Amino acid sequence: MQKVLNLYKKEGGTPLETIERFRIGNPKYSREKMTYAGRLDPMAEGVLIVLVGDECKNKDKYLGLDKEYEFEILWGVDTDTYDILGIPKIHGSLASVDFGGDLVKVVEGLKGKFLQKYPPFSSKTVDGKQMFQIAREGKIGEIEIPEREVEIYNFEYLGNYELIEKELLENITKRILKVKGDFRQKEILEEWNKKIPKPGFGKFVISKFKVSCSSGTYVRGIVNELGEKLGVGATTFGIKRVRVEEFKLF
């Protein structure tokens, strides 16, 4: 029986659902204590380290491992969660963005160590309550957002593709419907349907990246900062964790 498992968390699922799905397919683990080391948001997928039995006592060791992600940015839109599972705001034209120059310069500027604020919709605890609970109550402006030092080792810009309005809305709807539990899905989908412009607005630009970083780095936070620096708004369109130290995708 393995004490450290490299499982794949699917988009739309939770780490706990991933563990339960593994138990069902592997009955010998059904009575074993299991925990995950390093959560993934509902809209994220990829490598999930799961500890078994006595190895659960060593969870802190695994939480500090470096990570690598492939992710996509939807430009001209931002949300309160910094990803598509949030209430959107459309910013408009991207004509002012030089994706061949300005974007690369901003990306290069993010390499190294810096203090990163936790996203409002995160599991970080402030005064005994998780931040996402405070955000859902509309009280995030009443607290001081905590931050931590993180480090980006490498940041690669991999190019762009485009989607028209209908394609974008169909993509987002299909993926949000994968999510179970109470994540405001109904309200969020209603807002996306209201906010996505009618045909003729133009194509939405989506950029692809790869980043290697220290533990605790929020890709969603990086995306939001890029949008602010370029002045056009940005939200995380997709995240895949492809590596946690020596644990990689199969």
Provide the pLDDT for residue 103: 81
Give the SS3 label for residue 185: helix
Provide the pLDDT for residue 60: 95
Residues 49, 58: contact at Cβ < 8 Å? no
26 and 118: one domain? no
175 and 218: one domain? yes
DSSP string, 113-177: EEEEEPPSSSS-EETTEEHHHHHHTT-GGGSPPPEEEEEEEEEEEEEEEEE-HHHHHHHHHHHHT
109 and 165: one domain? yes
Domain end residue (candidates: 63, 88, 107): 63
120 and 98: one domain? yes
Domain CATH code at residue 220: 3.30.2350.10
Find the domain containing 19 and state its range. 4-63
Provide the pLDDT for residue 72: 97
Per-residue pLDDT of the chain (250 residues; tens, 9 = 90+): 899 999 999 999 999 999 999 999 999 999 999 999 999 999 999 999 999 999 999 999 999 999 999 999 999 899 999 999 999 998 865 655 666 677 888 888 899 999 999 999 999 999 999 999 999 999 999 999 999 999 999 999 998 899 999 999 999 999 999 999 999 999 999 999 999 887 777 788 899 999 999 999 999 999 999 999 888 889 999 999 999 999 998 6
73 and 14: one domain? no
Q: Cα(91)–Cα(14) distance, rounded to whole angstroms? A: 31
* pTM, 2 dp: 0.94
Q: Cα(46)–Cα(68) distance, rounded to whole angstroms? A: 10
Residues 94, 102: contact at Cβ < 8 Å? no
Residues with Cβ within 8 Å of residue 245, at least 6 apart in sequence: 65, 66, 67
Active site residues: 41
For 229, the enclosing helix (H) or strand (E) is helix 219-230
Domain end residue (candidates: 42, 63, 84): 63
135 and 227: one domain? yes
44 and 81: one domain? no
170 and 215: one domain? yes
Q: Cα(42)–Cα(27) distance, rounded to whole angstroms? A: 26
